[in-house]
Homo-oligomer: A and B are copies of this chain.
Amino acid sequence: MDRISDVSIGPLRDSKYIQCYQVSYKQNGKQRYWDCLRQHDSVGILIYNVTRQALVVVTQFRPAVYMSSNRPVWENSEIFTSGSLNMKADKGSESQVGPESDATAPKYGPSSEGMTYELCAGIVDKDIPLAEIAREEVQEETGYQVKTENLQYITSFWSNIGTAGSKQSLFYCEVTDDMIVGSGGGNQHEGEMIDVLDIPISTIDEFIVDESKKKSMGLCFGFSWFAKNVLPKQKNGQ
């Protein structure tokens, strides 16, 4: 388990990752405004290792999930009341909260609070077919080399519909142990620290509702889709 320490928050500076804007429009003639977030579309891949009879998922420390789980610690930080949010800020104005600033303040929890279980996934930031992006992500994150034509498109849904409304396209592929060409783990240059995990298909019903493991919605739907569409054929020996 990763060791997380020295947590503090500050205003968002010019961000490569979070870009906000406001849209103005008329709905049936009535003037309206909506605050939006620009976010990439993404692909997710449900991977079934036939050799091991297991679904292949990834786990990683997600700072946003960790902070969300520790919201009472930082919720009342002055950066949310001083009007300095969403502005450029000097490094020096960072607001330190938590153990460092006050020995009596609530403490941030263990890093496990930020660990999530997800499908292998990636953002759509290249003008190539979605299945090709999916293929690259499978190899980069999990170490399996698959062929684009073996990626079965399932469907797409919309995420963050309140703020970003980005599209996630879900694929399914089957792999075997002899398709492993690397250890996975994500893009080291981007600082990704991803672990790969097998979930035996005999345990997926329990896994979906096991709240000791924080899961993405995409994983829950993917597992349910597998249980409905693939598992019955397995049991029938097809």
Contacts and interface: CB of A to CB of B under 8 A. Distances in A.
A5 B25 contact: yes
A37 B64 contact: yes
A161 interface: yes
Contacts of A28: 2-3
Interface stretch (A6-14, A47-55, A140-148, A177-185): A6-14
Interface residues of A, number: 90
A129 interface: no
Contacts of A162: 17, 62, 64
B208 A155 contact: yes
Interface string A196-231: 000000000000110100111111110011011000
A116 interface: yes
B85 A19 contact: yes
A52 to B, nearest CB: 23
Given A88-B87, A220-B221, A116 B158 contact: yes
Q: How many copies does the complex hold?
A: 2
Given A13-B22, A20-B12, A86-B20, A163 B217 contact: no
A18 interface: yes
Contacts of A168: 217
A24 B37 contact: no
Interface in A16-33: 16-29, 31-32
Given A37-B37, A64-B164, A218-B217, A3 B29 contact: yes
B118 A161 contact: yes
A224 B205 CA distance: 12
B15 A11 contact: no
A132 interface: no
Contact of A68 (B32, B68, B167): B167
A41 to B, nearest CB: 8
Q: Which of A23, A66, A69, A88 has the most CB of B within 10 A?
A: A23
Interface of A: 2-29, 31-32, 34-39, 41, 61-69, 79-80, 83, 85-88, 94, 111, 114, 116, 118, 154-168, 191, 193, 208-209, 211, 214-221, 224-225, 227-228
